[in-house]
Amino acid sequence: MSPSANAPAPLLSRSMIAVIVAQFFSAFGDNALLFATLAVLKNQHYPDWSQPILQMLFVATYILLAPFVGQMADSFAKGRVMMFANSLKLLGALIVCFGFNPFLGYTLVGIGAAAYSPAKYGILTEITQGPRLVKANGLMESSTIAAILLGSVAGGVLADWNLLAALIVCALTYALAVVANIFIPRLQAARPGQSWHFGAMLRSFVASAQLLWRNGETRFSLLGTSLFWGAGVTLRFLLVLWVPVALGITDNKTPTTLNAMVAIGIVIGAAAAAKLVTLETVRRCMPAGVLIGVMVVVFSLQHSLLNAYLVLMLIGALGGFFVVPLNALLQERGKDTVGSGNAIAVQNLGENSAMLLMLGVYTVAIKLGAPAVATGVGFGALFAMAIAVLWWRSRR
């Protein structure tokens, strides 16, 4: 008997493989370029407090472009939107590579990333079905984290060896992402024919945001993922200053390998979430969110490199278990209301606003001379309390 024509397509379809490969190269380039550009700032003797400014410019592009990139993802074939966005990233990497202003080049990469994000997550709802969506998100996060793992280490190690070589590798990686995007089959636009008038787009985005924030489930997802990614990006910069103070190590490689431990953990946590959590049981992830903050406090007090590796891997595992179900919940509910592209754009606005706020507070704290260890302890405690409040509110 032949398989039913209505049988669900396999999870690892040609479309999914192409998306995952493109995402890997794109995320690899993002993370390698960050650490290579941080090395450029060191070489050019920028002050320590300028390092988070680099990421804040990147984040600001997400916020400023949020009203428009969701509609772009839903108005065109998402695979082609991803290819265009990776081309912008390639251009930004070349600007840094050829010795132009590193802040300008990395900001252009941020513009490409802002356009890329709604398309890469929105396409999952078009090539998978509801029951497979958490698993598809697990694959996406695993690909992303593998890229963070390898890209972060490659960026730091290559920057220690030869800075120009590190920047060239970043540019080549974005070029590979563009090529991979070509193999994503052209899908129909989710919502073609929308108005491109600035005012109409802004009003449409505001209406989408209001709809998602008024809904209890999507508000819960937006708050959870925003807190998580705001904390994640702050922890990344905290590591750069924490390593010399707590461990007495001053190279570029050690902070990148510590970031890699977080990445390995997230892969493990994402796999566990795919097996243990469904859209109906999504609140199972909340204890993991509280424990992230607790473990950041524990990590900040370490003075052994081995212990730091182990604690960061555990933080990553808790993070993967926490964020993957929340992403899937928002995509599923958003697809049925405002469109997956618009839902991810609203999510990006929330997440990057949280990143900008947390990085801003962190930058001020460092500029005022706050010790790295005390900053880590306070940061972890505040994060644990914030997730605990969100969990309590969601249960009510």
Q: How confident is the model at residue 354 (pLDDT cuts 50, 70, 90)?
A: confident
Using one digit for the tens of pLDDT, what is the confidence trace for 189-203?
656 556 667 777 788
Structure tokens at 96: 């840094």
Instruction: Report the 3 state secondary structure along the chain.
Output: CCCCCCCCCCCCCHHHHHHHHHHHHHHHHHHHHHHHHHHHHHHCCCCCCHHHHHHHHHHHHHHHHHHHHHHHHHHCCHHHHHHHHHHHHHHHHHHHHCCCCHHHHHHHHHHHHHHHHHHHHHCHHHHCCHHHHHHHHHHHHHHHHHHHHHHHHHHHHHHHHCHHHHHHHHHHHHHHHHHHHHCCCCCCCCCCCCCCCHHHHHHHHHHHHHHHHHCHHHHHHHHHHHHHHHHHHHHHHHHHHHHHHHCCCCCCHHHHHHHHHHHHHHHHHHHHHHHHCCHHHHHHHHHHHHHHHHHHHHHHCCCCHHHHHHHHHHHHHHHHHHHHHHHHHHHHHHHHHCCHHHHHHHHHHHHHHHHHHHHHHHHHHHHCCCCHHHHHHHHHHHHHHHHHHHHHHHHC
- Per the model's pLDDT, the better-predicted residue between 252 and 147 turns out to be 147
Rounded CA-CA distance 30/335 in Å is 27
CB of 125 within 8 A of CB of 340?
yes
Instruction: Please give the pLDDT value at position 334.
Output: 67
Angle (CA) 213 382 67, round 5°: 30
**Of the ranges 160-174, 213-227, 266-280, 336-350, the best mean pLDDT one:** 160-174
**Does pLDDT of 300 surpass 70?**
yes
Instruction: Please give the pLDDT value at position 355.
Output: 79
- Per the model's pLDDT, the better-predicted residue between 378 and 216 turns out to be 378
Using one digit for the tens of pLDDT, what is the confidence trace for 23-76?
889 888 888 888 788 877 777 777 666 677 777 787 788 778 877 777 777 777
Q: What is the mean pLDDT of residues 169-198?
A: 76
Q: How confident is the model at residue 7 (pLDDT cuts 50, 70, 90)?
A: very low
- Per the model's pLDDT, the better-predicted residue between 229 and 188 turns out to be 229
Predicted TM-score (pTM) of this structure: 0.66
Number of residues assigned to the chain:
396
Using one digit for the tens of pLDDT, what is the confidence trace for 230-284?
877 777 777 777 887 777 777 767 777 787 788 788 878 877 887 777 666 667 7
Q: What is the mean pLDDT of residues 83-109?
A: 85
Give me the chain's average pLDDT, please. 77
Instruction: Please give the pLDDT value at position 336.
Output: 65
**Does pLDDT of 22 surpass 60?**
yes
**Does pLDDT of 2 surpass 50?**
no
- Per the model's pLDDT, the better-predicted residue between 219 and 195 turns out to be 219
**Does pLDDT of 204 surpass 80?**
no
Residue ranges of domains in the chain, CATH in brackets? 14-188+195-395 (1.20.1250.20)
CB of 136 within 8 A of CB of 124?
yes
Instruction: Please give the pLDDT value at position 6.
Output: 45
**Does pLDDT of 12 surpass 80?**
no
**Does pLDDT of 215 surpass 80?**
no
Instruction: Please give the pLDDT value at position 149.
Output: 74
